[in-house]
Amino acid sequence: MKNILGENDRTAAENQALFKEKGVYVLNLMGSPGAGKTSLLEKTMEFLKDEIPMAVIEGDLFTSRDAERIEKHGVPVIQINTAGGCHLDAPMVQKTAQKLDLDKLELLIVENVGNLVCPAEFAVGEDEKAVVLSVTEGDDKPMKYPLIFKESAIALLNKVDILPYTNFDLAQAKEDITTLHPGMRVLELSCTTGQGIAEWCTWLRNRVKEKGKRA
């Protein structure tokens, strides 16, 4: 395991150096299957695609359905199928990034395979990670899967429009997340109603601007 992670980290560092050279902010978007990662991406593109040159790398076990959804928005997207693998890794992203014109991009979002465990362990060369947790999954998930929350820069609590129809304890979830990662930004979102999307896009826009200044 140490050998695998060590080799992955070396490639991730190469990716990060390339993205820094090109001035591209890279976000590793993680969460369970059905948490709403792709829906969030669609909303993000609606807000930002005409303002920020962006592309998406889609990770999934099988099919290209998520990539097809992204493609409809006119944003460059490349699908990676892991054929059963539970996460993307740095070599996969390195190979895929070669197919993108990084000189024309400012933002690259990597939608990782739906999983709350493995994606948090494997860096892909990203600047930061973000985790999406839907209220249908249960408020116990942060404490049951702490690493993904510790590793992420922001937690997005999605599908809050159906909160009244669940037993999800929003206050408890927020408390657990900030206990695991003090000072972490936690946003309440609904891709259906649009709640929190503008605030999320402002956070992302600021990250992209800062990366451009540092590059």
Per the structure block, which two tokens stand in for 9? 């980290």
In DSSP notation, the chain reads -HHHHHHHHHHHHHHHHHHHHHT-EEEEEEE-TTSSHHHHHHHHHHHHTTTS-EEEEEEESS-SHHHHHHHTTT--EEEEE-TT-SS--HHHHHHHHTTS-GGG-SEEEEE--SBSSHHHH---S-SEEEEEEETTS-TTHHHHSHHHHHH-SEEEEE-GGGGGGS---HHHHHHHHHHHSTT-EEEE--TTT-TTHHHHHHHHHHHHHHHHHH-
Phi, psi of 203 (to 5 degrees): -60, -45
CA 12 – CA 91 distance, rounded (Å): 8
Q: Are strands 54-60 and 107-111 parallel, antiparallel or unpaired?
A: parallel
Taking the C-alpha atoms of 203, 209, 213 and 215 in order, what is their torsion angle to the nearest 10 degrees?
Answer: 90
| CB-count exposure of residue 121 (10 Å: 0-12, 13-18, 19+) | middle
What confidence score (pLDDT) does residue 4 get?
A: 66
pTM: 0.94
**Pair 110, 21: CB distance under 8 Å:** no
Domains of the chain with bracketed CATH: 2-214 (3.40.50.300)
Pick the closest to residue 107 from 126, 81, 87 (CA basis): 126
Cα end-to-end distance, the chain, whole Å: 33
Ranges of residues in the chain whose predicted pLDDT is under 70: 1-4, 62-63, 213-215
**Pair 34, 20: CB distance under 8 Å:** no
